[in-house]
């Protein structure tokens, strides 16, 4: 019983790793935005990233 459960668990782990690798999963979080207008190519300033409003300076010590 335990052996079968461990076997299933091991298969699940390997399958998950394989799928993650094949599909290119990542531990990074990236925001996705749908339907970005094609006009962005002509006017890049019309698109603002969700990160664009933060103050980004982290500076040296």
Partner 1 sequence: MSGGPAPGGTPQVKSLNCPKCGATLTLRSFTNAVTIVCSSCHSILDAQDPRLRILQTFKAATDEDPPLIPLGARGTIRGTVYEVVGFQRRTIHVDGMPYSWHEYVLFNPFKGFRYLTEYNGHWNDISILRSVPIWSPGASSLNYLGETYQHFQTAQASTSFVLGEFPWQVRVGETAEVSDYVSPPRVISAERTGKEITWSMGEYMAGRDLWKAFKLSGDPPVPIGVYENQPSPMSAAVKNVWWMAAAGLVLLVVLMMVFFSTARDEQVFSQSYEFNTNVKTEASFVTDTFELKGHTSDVELTTTSQLDNKWIYLNYALINQDTGHAYDFGREVSYYHGYDEDGFWSEGSQTDSVTIPSVPPGNYYLRVEPESDFYRGTIYYTITLRRDVPQASFFGLGALALLIPAALVTWRSMNFEHLRWAESDYGSSDNDSDDSEDDDDPQRPVQLGIADDGDER
The whole-angstrom separation of Cα 48 and Cα 36 is 11
Token reading at 26: 């990542």
Our finding on whether 8 is near partner 1 (CB under 8 A) is: no
Our finding on whether 58 is near partner 1 (CB under 8 A) is: yes
Among 53, 15, 23, 42, smallest CA distance to 7 is for: 15
Our finding on whether 26 is near partner 1 (CB under 8 A) is: yes
Binding site for partner 1 (CB under 8 A): 2-3, 6-7, 9-10, 13-14, 16-18, 20-28, 30-38, 40-41, 44-45, 47, 49-52, 54, 56-61
């Amino acid at each position: 019983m335990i052996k079968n459960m461990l076997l299933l668990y091991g298969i699940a782990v390997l399958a998950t790793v394989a799928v993650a690798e094949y599909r290119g999963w990542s531990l990074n979080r990236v925001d996705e935005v749908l339907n970005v207008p094609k006009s962005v190519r002509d006017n890049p300033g019309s698109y603002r990233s969700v990160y664009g409003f933060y103050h980004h300076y982290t500076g040296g010590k």
